[in-house]
Structure 1
Amino acid sequence: MTQHEEEISSTLVTKSSLIDDLRKLGIKEGQTLLVHSSLSKIGWVCGAQVAVIQALQEVLTDKGTLVMPTHTGDNSDPSEWQHPPVPSEWWETIKVETPAFDPDITPTYKMGVVPESFRSFPNVVRSNHPTLSFAAWGQHKHFVTDGHGLDEGLGEHSPLARIYDLKGSVLLLGVDYENNTSMHLAEHRQPEKTLIKAGSAIMEDGAKVWKEYHTIAYQDEVFNEIGKKFELKFEVKQGYIGKAFSRLMDQKELVDYTYEYFLNLSTSKE
């Protein structure tokens, strides 16, 4: 066991202590909050992911809105898979045999246990996008999740844009800016962008089909660099939730700053 693992396991984290930590960081009743999380970074949590979700709900109350990404990247074109790739002779069979996305039953893929549990919590709803869905609970849950467009799934017709409209906040709970999905909204808002084809299994007119749609090539490999610069200009509340170093920020400020960053980057290349 490493020193870091020993430190994490030596502290008991409970729902009550999580509530205290969340409030100390600045999370308040009535907020709209998009959460990206790593349960393992929090430490030894009594009640595990259930305690984390309930703590967030109790702090926000039903006057607030709790949102988490519930993405399903495995319902995508197998020709694009890299980690790991699959044999090309499998591609068409995978497209035919992949079950259609169903917001009620399709599990998340590599999103962590917190959002995977949250999607099936009581009174949680989930947007209907085959790879980029979000789940929400609370006052504005339907406003956030309804009308999630198939094309450009993290763009103007996405839950990210609705969180922006609500002047929501982003909590990075034990994760860094590479997990900060809101920054993709800024990429979609660029005046110059290249659309690329994607595909997923969906239900259409009562039948399962393989549906092609458009997305863009994302650049999350530079999100940590952007995040460091963002923190020099805007307030980002920092602290620990359990043992997890966490950041709380205004989503609109983040999206607008990221938009300007990519716009300036594009202009400088001309």
Structure 2
Amino acid sequence: MSQERLIKESARPQTRQSLTMDLKHLGLREGMTVIVHSSMKSLGWVCGGAVAVIQALQDVITHKGTLIMPAHSADVSDPREWENPAIPKEWIQEVMSELPPFDLLMTPTFGMGVIPELFRTYPNVKRSNHPVHSFSVWGNNSEEVAKNHSLDYGLGENSPLGYLYQNNGYVLMLGTGYETNTSMHLGEHLGGTVKQVKKMSPMIENHQKVWKEYVELDYDADPFSAIGERFEGEHNILEGKVGHSQAKLMYQPDLVNFTGKHFS
């Protein structure tokens, strides 16, 4: 959406201060551990853009809390599995040879949006070392959270999602739906019925690029919207406006457990 259209559709400018107040009214509090999924355009016209959004989130939870965002890079993966679009088969060998390996500092997010992409570069933000399913972390225990991320089962219990689950974390959705609610993939792990698959990604090992093989679940977010609708029918969540977006705040362990029952 263009800036001109955002301005026309916005009743007033959103600012760091106004977003901070909206987040507090929604129920976000100092010291919370929270993963944020966001749509920048849903917020309306924001003075300062993604910078103001991140600052508002930090203002509310403070360094006493932990702020997490997905920093996924699905394109740092086996090109033989790429879809929408796939590349020609005759390109595969060259692409595998030339594809840059995952780098904590340099590798951009892929399809995550402007807020997570900026957040990963923010001062004092730590990034977990997973080629596809990394997370950016700021605040309390950020280094511990980022460091404890296994290569196998990247959205499982030994990941920042697991930290949220074990530490009474919350999920904040800013104008997004359950189809991008990453915590629900942890529910797939707890359900125990989703099949395992082998994956490959280029990584740096001993200062050289290597293709590392690891084990994942065959993740499938297609049922998440329906599961999320049922979850809201059985659990209390906090809903309200943050800027122009419809925002939702929920207790992450409840969502994970509910999703796990679907996959059990």
The TM-score range, normalised by the shorter chain, is over 0.9
The aligned counterpart of 1:150 is: 151
Relative to the length of structure 2, the TM-score reads 0.95
The aligned counterpart of 1:250 is: 251
2:218, 2:199 → 1: CA distance? 11
The equivalences for 1:79-98 within 5 A come to 79-98=80-99
The aligned counterpart of 1:238 is: 239
Gaps of 5+ in 1: 264-270
Q: Matched residue pairs, number?
A: 262
The aligned counterpart of 1:268 is: none
Following superposition, the deviation at residue 21 of structure 1 comes to 0.4
1:107-137 C-alpha deviation (Å, 9 max, x unpaired): 1111101010000111000000001000000
2:9, 2:223 → 1: CA distance? 29
2:170, 2:8 → 1: CA distance? 29
Gaps of 5+ in 2: none
Following superposition, the deviation at residue 193 of structure 1 comes to 3.0
The aligned counterpart of 1:38 is: 39
Query: Does the aligned pair in 1 maintain the 2:43–2:175 contact within 8 Å?
Result: yes
The aligned counterpart of 2:59 is: 58
The equivalences for 1:121-200 within 5 A come to 121-200=122-201
Root-mean-square deviation (CA), in Å? 1.6
Following superposition, the deviation at residue 147 of structure 1 comes to 2.3
The one-letter code of the counterpart of 1:84 is: P
* Same amino acid, percent of matched pairs: 48
Following superposition, the deviation at residue 6 of structure 1 comes to 6.9
1:23-59 C-alpha deviation (Å, 9 max, x unpaired): 0000000000100000011000000000000000000
The equivalences for 1:210-221 within 5 A come to 210-221=211-222
2:196, 2:64 → 1: CA distance? 38
The aligned counterpart of 1:226 is: 227
Following superposition, the deviation at residue 165 of structure 1 comes to 1.0
1:123, 1:171 → 2: CA distance? 21
Query: Does the aligned pair in 1 maintain the 2:191–2:262 contact within 8 Å?
Result: no
Query: Does the aligned pair in 1 maintain the 2:171–2:250 contact within 8 Å?
Result: yes
Relative to the length of structure 1, the TM-score reads 0.93
1:91, 1:261 → 2: CA distance? 37
- Secondary structure of the 1:231 match is helix
The equivalences for 1:202-213 within 5 A come to 202-213=203-214
Following superposition, the deviation at residue 184 of structure 1 comes to 0.1
Query: Does the aligned pair in 1 maintain the 2:15–2:48 contact within 8 Å?
Result: yes
- Secondary structure of the 2:57 match is helix
